[in-house]
Amino acid sequence: MDGMDQAALKSQKLDPSLRSILDEGTDQPISVIVQTIDGLKEEDRRTMGSLGGKIKDDLYIINAFSAEISAKSLEMLILSPRVTRIYHDAEVHANRTAR
């Protein structure tokens, strides 16, 4: 797969915060939510294991699973045809605006 194809997959499959993390570079494991075409399957477990990632929870209601994975392995995970979208699994804070 050439660089242009991988860049297109990054844009398509990764949420903006994950793209920023990959662009900045990190050695720390990244918490992610991986959405697949039909939920967590044995093939996904094998893929994550081969990439050195760790599955935390099966999020079957949304056809996804939570995991921790390195930035380098995350770039490989987007190549999987089973993966439809990957989100950064981080705390969300609401902003209060005055009216």
Of 72 and 93, the one with more pLDDT = 72
Domains and CATH numbers, the chain: 3-88 (3.30.70.80)
The sheet carrying 64-69 orders its strands as 54-59, 64-69, 30-36, 83-88
Distance of CA 39 to the CA centre of its chain: 14
- Confidence at 1, pLDDT banded by 50, 70, 90: very low
Confirm if 85 and 35 have CB atoms less than 8 A apart: yes
The arithmetic mean of pLDDT across residues 39-68, rounded, is 97
Q: What is the pLDDT of residue 45?
A: 97
pLDDT at 82 over 50: yes
- 15 touches 22 (CB < 8 A): no
Model confidence band, residue 71 (pLDDT cutoffs 50, 70, 90): very high
Burial environment of residue 5 by CB neighbours within 10 A (0 to 12, 13 to 18, 19 or more)? exposed
Per cent of the chain over pLDDT 90 is 68
Task: Write the pLDDT tens digit of every residue in 38-53.
Answer: 999 999 999 999 999 9
What pLDDT is attached to residue 34?
Answer: 98
How much is the pLDDT for 4? Answer: 53
